[in-house]
Chain A
């Protein structure tokens, strides 16, 4: 069945450091790929998405590119802030369906 694999956390960075959180997937067909973020005390929020190969999703300085050849959707940000501290979840979803397949989540802690 479909699955999503994320790098284990926690990831601890200093402010303004470069961030990469790895995500790879296994799926039939051509799923859409997502990054969700959960800030402390809040619900999951959609951060960005990409619906086909080579698409780049971006939001709030974060980016991820849908790489079909490597089945990856790595999350990157050039300069993290303390306010980016959260848990990040990679997920996939097949068009026309309602069910998400999530990864295990990666906790990011950014130190001032």
Chain B
């Protein structure tokens, strides 16, 4: 089975520009999660989708970040306008179960490394 795919793998943009990250989950996985790792720090939860609905967006840093999952398939995370502190690696994950301790757990993508200059 294909894994979780993220596009692009790297993105370098200037401060004030807009960037859109994309995540394609494993087919049939209703649950989709976004996490972020700012350089040298811990990986932090951003939000959770169940199908097309946002279940928890408590980790979204501010209103410059907008996540969507139209049709309950792939998801996008848009940053507009980007700031220097948004630089980091953005991970997407998907799962069949709602919980992270299920047999299949999460499957993570390889991440998008975003650099804002």
Binding site for B on A (CB under 8 A): 4, 32, 36, 41-46, 49, 51, 89, 91, 93, 95-105
Q: Give 21 pairs: A residue, B residue, CB < 8 Å, sorted on A.
A: A32-B100, A36-B108, A43-B4, A43-B91, A43-B111, A44-B91, A44-B93, A44-B106, A45-B108, A49-B105, A93-B100, A93-B101, A95-B99, A95-B101, A98-B48, A98-B56, A98-B100, A99-B56, A100-B100, A101-B45, A105-B37
Contact with A along B17-49 (1 / 0, CB 8 A): 000000000000001010101001111110010
Q: Looking at the complex, which one of A41, A91, A96, A101 makes contact with B99 (CB distance below 8 Å)?
A: A96
Q: A43-B107, A104-B41 known; 8 other A-B pairs, CB under 8 Å?
A: A32-B100, A43-B108, A43-B110, A44-B43, A44-B106, A98-B31, A98-B48, A100-B100
Contact B108 A44 (CB under 8 A): yes
Decide if B15 is an interface residue (CB 8 Å cutoff): no
Is B40 in contact with A42, judged by CB distance below 8 angstroms? no
Shortest Cβ gap from A91 to chain B (Å): 8
Interface: B98 (CB within 8 A): yes
Which residue of chain A has its CB nearest to the CB of B92? Answer: A43
Residues of B within 8 A of A46 (CB): 105-106
Which residues of chain B have C-beta atoms less than 8 A from A93's C-beta?
A: 99-101
Contacts of A99 in B (CB 8 A): 45, 48, 56, 100
The distance from the CB of A25 to the nearest CB of chain B, in whole angstroms, is 12
